[in-house]
């Protein structure tokens, strides 16, 4: 039996499941826009109904952040996004200081749209740049060019205080020099948040069926990762999570809440939720395909999984998130978030220390460089 005395911070995730063209490496819940376009109004109504149906679960909780993710949310009109935010404001206790992020893709943004997003409360934008190299953009099946990226960054900086760029490394045929070019250009944009992800080949993607033969090997990817970390740190960015770097403390508050094992409600096709109560933590998953989601919301059958997290799985889930944080966490956070006494995992923590995956500093548990580099091996100890 768990006992949670104070509920954690709470964020709202809204999923937008359409993209102009599915990228061959992508395993997100994204679907090509059909010839008829996006059913924007119908989807907004479905999101509203979805949120209304979930209010009992989150009643009274302050919404500290909203993340409009996808897919490509920036395919939605400025007024459409405005309507969604205003429905959230009406139905929930949205903090006036909430961080509200929208994901955008170069090639699916324009000035009027960004301006209306900002007017409606969006204050952070995350742009899927992936690379500044045209050949690599082509090999990733991206629909935008390097110039589209620069244009999108220029507009984003004009309308939003916080801007993130997503960049992928370990690309087909990519050399260290080409990666260095991407890092240098990213730094030169002077945005305050950068995320660098290693390309991984996921099941259910085109790259899984037909994997590019010229991917950098593990040693080279490690060298690339070290280059990214060194260059960004030398240029004033702090690595605060495995893949996330921030300047001027401009952390992504929504993602930090995930990594701190905070709570979130996900609405929209395929979205996931994690919600804490005094004596349990639950997870929900919504119907994944946009058409099925739209139909099932009307019948109130859109939640396809709704279960209490098993007591024995909670410590693993906690560590899976917290060990992503470079500066670690305070020991007391384990009890606060999981409702479980830390004495139940002391043996496992000792094993992590023996393996040099973590170290104790005062009241903090901090992953070592080895722990961060071998995160999967570290987490196996908690399985």
Interface residues with ligand SF4 (CB under 6 A)? 19, 22-23, 26, 28, 30, 70-72, 105, 128
Q: Residue 48 or 105: which CB sits closer to ligand SF4?
A: 105
Chain position whose Cβ is nearest to ligand SF4 = 26
Q: What separation in angstroms does the CA of 204 have from each of 22, 170, 201? A: 12, 20, 9
Side by side, the strands of the sheet bearing 364-367 are 329-330, 364-367, 358-361
Give the nearest distance from C-beta 221 to ligand SF4 in angstroms: 19
Minimum CB distance to ligand SF4, residue 278 (Å): 37
User: What is the smallest separation between the CB atom of 68 and ligand SF4, expressed in angstroms?
Assistant: 13
Residues 358/365, Cβ–Cβ less than 8 Å: yes
Single out the residue of 58, 303, 324 nearest to residue 197, CA to CA: 324
Pairing of strands 281-286, 272-276: antiparallel
**Minimal distance in Å, beta carbon 26 to ligand SF4?**
3
How far apart (Å, rounded) are the C-alpha atoms in residues 120 and 86? 8
Closest approach of ligand SF4 to the CB of residue 19, in Å: 3
The distance of closest approach from Cβ of residue 244 to ligand SF4 in the complex, given in angstroms and rounded to an integer, is 17
Long-range contacts made by residues 131-134, C-beta under 8 angstroms, separation at least 24?
131/167, 131/168, 131/171, 131/182, 132/181, 132/182, 132/185, 132/186, 133/174, 133/178, 133/181, 133/182
Short-list 138, 242, 240, 227, CA closest to 186: 227
Own/partner contacts of 298-307, CB < 8 Å, gap of 24 or more, are 298/46, 298/49, 300/53, 302/46, 302/50, 306/282, 307/282, 307/283
The smaller minimum CB distance to ligand SF4, of residues 12 and 104, is found at 104
User: Closest separation between CB of residue 271 and ligand SF4, Å?
Assistant: 14
CA–CA dist 19, 85 (Å, integer): 21
For ligand SF4, the closer of residues 206 and 361 by Cβ is 206
Nearer to ligand SF4, 128 or 371 (CB): 128
- Report the distance separating Cα 143 and Cα 27, nearest Å: 17
Q: Report, in Å, the least distance between residue 72 CB and ligand SF4.
A: 5
Which one, 20 or 309, has the nearer CB to ligand SF4? 20
């Amino acid at each position: 039996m768990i006992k949670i005395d104070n509920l954690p911070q709470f964020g709202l995730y809204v999923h937008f499941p359409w993209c102009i063209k599915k990228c061959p490496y992508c395993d997100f819940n994204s679907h090509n826009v059909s010839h008829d376009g996006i059913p924007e109004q119908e989807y907004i109504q479905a999101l509203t109904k979805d949120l209304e149906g979930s209010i009992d679960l989150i009643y009274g909780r302050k919404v500290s952040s909203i993340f409009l993710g996808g897919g490509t949310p920036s395919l939605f009109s400025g007024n459409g996004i405005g309507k969604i935010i205003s429905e959230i404001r009406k139905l929930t206790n949205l903090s006036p200081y909430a961080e509200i992020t929208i994901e955008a893709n170069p090639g699916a943004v324009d000035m009027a749209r960004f301006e209306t997003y900002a007017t409606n409360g969006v204050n952070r934008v995350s742009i899927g740049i992936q690379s500044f190299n045209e050949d690599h953009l082509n090999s990733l099946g991206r629909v935008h060019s390097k110039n589209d990226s620069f244009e999108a960054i220029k507009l984003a900086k004009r309308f939003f205080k916080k801007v993130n760029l997503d960049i992928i490394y370990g690309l087909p045929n990519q050399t260290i020099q080409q990666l260095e070019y991407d890092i240098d250009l990213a730094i030169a944009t002077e945005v305050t948040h950068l995320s660098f992800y290693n390309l991984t080949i996921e099941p259910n993607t085109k790259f899984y069926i037909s994997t590019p033969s010229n991917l950098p090997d593990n040693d080279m990817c490690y060298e690339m990762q070290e280059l990214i970390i060194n260059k960004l740190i030398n240029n004033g960015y702090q690595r605060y999570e495995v893949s996330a770097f921030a300047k001027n403390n401009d952390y992504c508050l929504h993602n930090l809440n995930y990594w701190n094992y905070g709570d979130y409600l996900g609405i929209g096709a395929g979205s996931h939720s994690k919600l804490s109560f005094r004596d349990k933590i639950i997870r929900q998953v919504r119907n994944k395909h946009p058409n099925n989601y739209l139909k099932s919301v009307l019948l109130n059958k859109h939640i396809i999984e709704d279960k209490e997290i098993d007591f024995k799985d909670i410590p693993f889930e906690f560590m899976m998130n917290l060990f992503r944080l470079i500066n670690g966490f305070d020991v007391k956070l384990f009890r606060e978030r999981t409702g479980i006494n830390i004495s139940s995992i002391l043996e496992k923590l000792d094993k992590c220390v023996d393996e040099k995956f973590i170290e104790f500093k005062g009241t903090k548990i901090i992953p070592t460089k080895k722990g961060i580099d071998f995160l999967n091996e570290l987490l196996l100890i908690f399985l």
